Structure 1
Amino acid sequence: MKWYFKILIGLCSLLVFGIILNIVLNIWIKYPISKIISNKNDSAYFVTYKSINVSIWNSSIVANDIVIIPRKAVKDTLNKAGIYAEIKKIKVTKFKVWDVLFNDKIKAKSISIEKSNVVLYKKEKNENVRESVVGPFDKIISVGEVALVNANFKMYDVDSKIPMLNVQNINVQLDGIVVTKSTLEDKIPFQFKNYSVSCDSMHFHPNEFYNIKTNKVKITNSDIHIDEFQMIPTYSRRQFVSKISKEKDLNTILCKTISVSKMDWGFKEEDFFFHCNAVDLNRVKANIYRSLEPKDDLSKKHLYNKLLRDLKFDLKVDTLKIRNSIVEYEEEKSFDLGPGKLRFNNFNLNATSINSGFKKNKLPDVKINISCNFMNNSPLNVNWKFNIMDQNDGFNIKGSLQKFDVEKIVAFTKPYMNIETEGVIDLMHFDFTGNDKQVSGKFAVEYDDLEFKILKKDNRKKKNKLATFIAKVFVKKDTDEKLKNVDVELERIPEKSFYNFLWRSIAEGLQKVLI
Structure 2
Amino acid sequence: MKLLRKIVIILLSFFLLIAIASFGLSWYVSEKLPSILRGEKDFPYNVSYANLDIDLLSGSFTIQNTYLAPKDSLNQGIQTGAFGKIERIEVNNFSLWALLCKNQIAVSEVIIIKPDVTLFFRKEKYDPQKDFVKPFENTISTGKLVIKNGEFKMLDSLQKPSVKVANISFELTNIKVDSTTLKKDIPVRYRDYALKCDSLFFDMGKHYTITANKLSTTDSKLSLENFRMTPKQSREQFTRMQPKELDQFNLSTKKISIPNLDWGYFRDTLYVHTPKITLDGIYANIYRSKEPADDYTRKKLYSEMLRSLKFDLDVKQLDIKNTSIEYEEQLTFSKPAAKVSFSKFDAKIKNIYSLTGHNNQKKLPATVLDVKCLFMKSSPLRVTWSFNIPDKSDAFTIMGHLQNIDAQKTDAITMPLMNARTDGHIKEVKFTFNGNLRHGSGPFAINYDDLKVDILKKDGKKENKLVSTIANTIVKNDSDDKLKETHVEVDRIQHKSVFNFLWRFTEQGLKQSVLPKTVVNIANNKKEKKDEKEKAKTKGKK
Q: TM-score, normalised by structure 1?
A: 0.96
CA distance in 1, matches of 2:262, 2:350: 18
Q: 1:309 to 1:122 in 2, by over 3 A?
A: farther
Paired residues of 1:41 and 1:140 also in contact (CA < 8 A): no
For residues 76-87 of structure 1, the aligned pairs below 5 Å read: 76-78=76-78, 80-87=79-86
Residues in 1 aligned to 2:128 and 2:426: alpha-carbon distance in whole angstroms: 61
CA distance in 2, matches of 1:292, 1:26: 74
**Structure 1 residues 6, 405: closer, same or farther in 2, change over 3 A?**
farther
- What is residue 482 of structure 2 aligned with on the other side? 482
Which residue is equivalent to 2:520?
none
Q: Is the CA contact (8 Å cut-off) linking 1:421 and 1:450 kept in structure 2?
A: yes
Quote the Cα distance in structure 2 between the aligned partners of 1:41 and 1:172: 29
Q: Distance in 2 between matches of 1:4 and 1:487?
A: 115
Distance in 2, Cα, partners of 1:395 & 1:6: 98
Partner letter of residue 97 of structure 2?
Answer: W
Contact 2:37–2:43 (CA under 8 A) maintained in structure 1: no
Q: Which residue of 1 aligns with 2:216?
A: 218
Partner of 1:468: 468
Q: Tell me the equivalent position of 2:52.
A: 52
Kindly state the Cα deviation for residue 20 of structure 1 after the two structures are TM-superposed: 4.2
Moved more, 66-75 or 474-483: 66-75
**One-letter code of the match for 1:100?**
L
Query: Are positions 1:445 and 2:443 aligned together?
Result: no
Please name the residue that 1:276 is paired with: 274
Shift of 1:4: 9.2
Q: Which amino acid aligns with 2:220?
A: S
Q: What are the Cα deviations for residues 252-302 of structure 1, in whole angstroms up to 9, with x where unaligned?
A: 111111111211111112211111121111011110011111111111111
Distance 1:257 1:128, change over 3 A: closer
* Alignment correspondent of 1:406: 407
Q: Which amino acid aligns with 2:341?
A: R
| Structure 1 residues 7 and 455: alpha-carbon distance in aligned structure 2, compared to 1, 3 A threshold | farther
Query: 2:196 is matched with which residue?
Result: 198
1:260 corresponds, among 258, 261, 284, to: 258
Q: Distance in 2 between matches of 1:28 and 1:360?
A: 58
Residues 326-337 of structure 1: matches in 2 within 5 Å? 326-337=324-335
Give the CA deviation at 1:113: 1.2
Equivalent residues of 2:441, 2:489 under 8 A apart:
yes
C-alpha contact 2:219 2:263 (8 A) present in aligned 1:
no
Q: Which residue of 2 aligns with 1:340?
A: 338
Q: Relative to 1, partners in 2 of residues 1:346 and 1:473: Cα closer, same or farther, differing over 3 Å?
A: same
Distance 1:493 1:267 in 2: 39
Taking the TM superposition and a 5 Å limit, the aligned residue runs for 1:7-86 are 17-40=17-40, 42-78=42-78, 80-86=79-85
The Cα offsets for residues 179-237 of structure 1, whole Å up to 9 and x where unpaired, read as 11100111111100010000011011111100100001100111111111111101111
Matches within 5 A, 1:241-320: 241-320=239-318
Gaps of 5+ in 1: none
Structure 1 position 2, deviation (Å)? 11
The alpha-carbon deviation at position 125 of structure 1 amounts to 4.4
Decide whether aligned partners of structure 1 residues 409 and 98 sit closer, same or farther in structure 2, where only a CA change above 3 A counts.
same
Paired amino acid for 1:503: W
Aligned counterparts of 1:9 and 1:323: Cα–Cα separation in 2: 81
- The Cα shift of 1:335 comes to 1.3
User: 2:86 and 2:207 mapped to 1: Cα distance?
Assistant: 34
AA of the residue aligned to 1:319: Q
- Look up the match of 1:185: 183
- Aligned-pair distance for 1:360? 3.2
Kindly indicate whether the alpha-carbon contact (under 8 Å) linking 2:382 and 2:400 is maintained by their aligned counterparts in 1: yes
SS at match of 2:240: helix
Give 1:156-175 correspondences, 5 Å limit: 156-157=155-156, 159-175=157-173
Which range moves more in the overlay, 112-121 or 498-507?
A: 112-121
Aligned pairs for 1:360-399 (under 5 A) are: 360-361=358-359, 362=361, 363-399=364-400
* Contact 2:299–2:494 (Cα < 8 Å) also in 1: yes
In structure 2, the partner of 1:95 is 94
Displacement of 1:162: 3.7
Q: Deviations over 1:134-183 (max 9, x none)?
A: 222011111000011111101122x3434211100111100010111100
**CA 427–17 in structure 1, closer or farther in 2 if over 3 Å, else same:** same
1: CA distance, partners of 2:160 / 2:367: 40
Of 473-482 and 262-271, more deviation after overlay is shown by: 262-271
Q: Deviations over 1:404-428 (max 9, x none)?
A: 1111111121122111111111111
1:152–1:167 CA contact under 8 A, matched in 2: yes
State the percentage of identical aligned residues: 37
Structure 2: any 5+ residue segments left out of the alignment? 516-542
Report the Cα offset of residue 94 of structure 1: 0.2
Q: Is the partner of 2:88 in helix, strand or coil?
A: strand
Is the CA contact (8 Å cut-off) linking 2:229 and 2:250 kept in structure 1?
Answer: yes
Any conservation in 1 of the 2:368–2:384 contact (CA below 8 Å)?
A: yes
AA at the equivalent of 1:478? D
Q: Which amino acid aligns with 2:58?
A: N
Mapped contact 1:41–1:136 kept (Cα < 8 A): no
- After superposition, where does 1:419-458 map in structure 2 within 5 Å? 419-457=420-458
Q: Distance in 2 between matches of 1:43 and 1:436?
A: 56
Contact 1:43/1:132, CA 8 A, preserved across alignment: no
What amino acid does structure 2 have at the position aligned with 1:498? Answer: V
In structure 2, how many angstroms separate the alpha carbons of the residues matched to 1:471 and 1:448? Answer: 16
Question: What secondary structure is seen at the aligned counterpart in 1 of 2:428?
Answer: strand
Matched residues in 1 for 2:261 and 2:3: separation?
Answer: 69
Which amino acid is the alignment partner of residue 386 of structure 2?
K
Which deviations, in whole Å up to 9, do the C-alpha atoms of 1:326-372 show, x marking residues without a partner? 00111111111010111111000110110012253353111100000
Partner AA of 2:376 in structure 1: M
TM-superposed deviation, 1:72? 2.3
